[in-house]
Structure 1
């Protein structure tokens, strides 16, 4: 999709922007970047080149949407051989958008804050039913929405066929619905349209004047899911987290979040980082003697993992700025006769958080505090005090070197995660 009235010219160069070098980018370099984006997929593309998800500006080409800053950084690499990362831009996303538009591309932006507020307001005011003798609102629609948000986070198709919805959501309603409530997945499948966030397709108009019967659903195999506008909003990790928190706090206050997230495919929201929960399936049984002591070396198992490539320069930088001293507990460790600390991302790099690999998203922590921070046991409140999510520790200020900027938006994101699982943190 090219901007109306402009014919792309491979020799055209945008106005050079002081200090940025975006003037080196040409039309064909942007096209090459978008082709690599499609080939690798969004998540791998962003991880490879050190970018987070676009918060507002997106390049739109042939019906696809691309993270504009990441595309510009990779296009710069195709133009000059130097592939920029997020930290290499001296200007904001609006400057990148101007460059791409001068090249003839469409770059779209909305008003994410107001759109997000409208989305959250609709989630708080779902038209849920209340059963006779039970004043609590039905959980059918909230549970269905969490299931759909999980699909959005995994970038699965926006619309889901009725048989899939029935077979996957039905058991959720049995397990997490109100006591003695009947599991009727056909009701949220149809009535979520009242939220203005959901649509149903595939039911003939003459049968859609009132809620169709289950038999009609089974016969016509309709599809349902978020509207295109809602799905676009939920692509933003911050909006997605706020939507999940809103649903849980409004309708699912007494539900076991750990179990619920595991069942709905949202288990990534139970940790801020990449910690792996121990599992009996991951252990290997070795030979033991009659007393249960191991015989011989520990057994081994071949394994293949995909890991996020972090910028080690940034990790060294934050440790240097903080003098390898934990910003939470002030501990300075030594290992092999050298100072030892860990660079901890505030908003995790991997799915579903998609945080940026940048200095503003890093803390210098000792291993103990790193584990507690990633495990959502501690958080930073709106006054900059580190607190325990279980109120089991005295608050203390997060130490910050003036040369080490920390993005408050990342701190707030982590705090919301803690709120979601422990329901203790407030503010921000």
Structure 2
């Protein structure tokens, strides 16, 4: 049976049991972890949305689903609960975001002789581990995997002439207070184990549970990535780095992709013959088309950035653009406060992080000088400054490239 069997009263029953047992007992009893993306908000309380949905399914059908029985996220759990009339919001980060950022800004990194630049070993290792959080992979990483994947990364993006020694960040990141190592016998842990000890005992390392919990929040994670890049990786080509480690989603605010073709080229290098086709099965985000129509009506199909009204097939044409992207890794909401009405050109520039809106509502350029001008907004069109702030952080980490 699917999630469509769940009724409003089943969700209420699940939330009542959640309150009665307490969060930790409830999650342990039914085999769930803390919410990674979305929470159910009811009467001022926040509930782990996937756990509530699995238990509500049990009340509806007698089949209590566990975490591995179904997938969570915007297209499943969040959609199910929203359609039943419940408020679903991105999960609030637990712990202290400011303390996390401060620790990242003050890593105990070494400096080589004759080179005042801080070593990139720890910052690059942390970014690599954050990419794993984006993909929701296990936080604890076996030493062989860390060695084989981080080692080449240190050669490619580390300081010139620096040795690739992945054992150093694997062990010394513990000094950040954000990282832990398991599997080294106590008698061998009084000093840094050498590579032979690591190879022999197969330890694991990764973010502490509370750090991983903080980094599951997309806003906190972006702040952490921007802090590492600005503090330690100023001269690194971030687009190449992000592509290399699996953070390429942070190079745009939307979902711009490069199209490719398999058609055979002619003598001039052009693709010839009919466009090729291939079968594909995809999971796509379901956007609320009514919201897109609403923002275009409010703004009268005029671009809020350049004030242009395009025409196509003798009709006004505009595009509904999300300020904070819907898909991974941004996980923005599909609501009116996260939507702009833009022309096609400004939509591409905004998603491509070439322009942004500052805290005073002025449109500015990221990578070149231009005169700022105010973002136009129609009466009755609310916009959330938090989404603009998120977009500005994306521009921060993409503004300077090596």
TM range (shorter): 0.7 to 0.9
User: What is residue 335 of structure 1 aligned with on the other side?
Assistant: 312
**In the alignment, is residue 325 of structure 1 matched against residue 305 of structure 2?**
no
Q: Tell me the residue number matched to 2:243.
A: 262
Alpha-carbon distance change, 143 to 295 in structure 1, aligned in 2, over 3 angstroms: closer
Q: Residues 173 and 382 of structure 1: is their aligned pair in 2 closer, same or farther, counting only changes over 3 Å?
A: same
**Alignment correspondent of 2:373:** 396
SS at match of 1:165: helix
Number of aligned residue pairs: give it: 358
Rounded Cα–Cα distance in structure 2 between residues aligned with 1:415 and 1:264: 22
Long gaps (5+) in structure 2: 1-16, 27-41, 44-51
Aligned-pair CA distance for 1:390? 1.5
Query: Is contact 2:261–2:275 with CA below 8 Å preserved after alignment?
Result: no
Task: Say if 1:31 and 1:147 are closer, same or farther in 2 by CA, change over 3 A.
Answer: farther
| 1:250, distance to aligned residue in structure 2 (A) | 0.5
Q: CA deviation at 1:46?
A: 1.6
Q: Deviation string for 1:252-284 (max 9, x for gaps)?
A: 001000111111111100000011024xxx222
Task: Output the CA distance in 2 between the equivalents of 1:38 and 1:318.
Answer: 38
Q: Distance in 1 between matches of 2:271 and 2:143?
A: 52
| In 2, Cα distance between equivalents of 1:146 and 1:27 | 33
- 1:109–1:341 distance in 2 versus 1, CA, 3 Å: closer
**Partner in structure 2 of residue 195 of structure 1:** 176
| Corresponding position of 2:75 | 47
| 2:363 aligned counterpart, secondary structure | strand
1:4-59 Cα deviation digits (max 9, x unpaired): 66899xxxxxxx97xxxxxxx999537569838754423xx32346xxxxxxxxxx
Quote the offset at 1:393 in angstroms: 2.9
Give the SS at the match of 1:133.
Answer: coil
Q: CA deviation at 1:340?
A: 1.0
SS at match of 1:284: coil
Distance apart, 1:412 and its partner CA: 0.5
Correspondences of 1:196-345 after superposition (within 5 Å): 196-278=177-259, 282-286=260-264, 288=266, 296-345=273-322
Choose the corresponding residue for 1:376, options 329, 335, 353.
Answer: 353
Check whether the contact 1:128–1:141 (CA below 8 A) recurs between aligned residues.
yes
Q: Contact 2:304 / 2:340 at 8 angstroms: preserved in 1?
A: yes
1:408 counterpart = 2:385: yes
In the TM superposition, what is the alpha-carbon distance from 1:366 to its structure 2 partner? 0.6
Contact between 2:355 and 2:366, CA under 8 Å: does it hold in 1?
Answer: yes
Output the CA distance in 1 between the equivalents of 2:59 and 2:339: 31
| Cα deviation 1:208-255 (Å, max 9, x = unaligned) | 011111100000000000000000000000000000000000000010
CA distance in 2, matches of 1:320, 1:294: 40
* Correspondences of 1:118-197 after superposition (within 5 Å): 118-197=99-178
Q: How far has the Cα of 1:158 moved from its partner?
A: 0.6
- C-alpha RMSD over aligned residues: 3.0
Distance in 2, Cα, partners of 1:121 & 1:258: 24
When residues 295 and 183 of structure 1 are mapped into structure 2, their CA distance, relative to the original with a 3 A threshold, is: closer
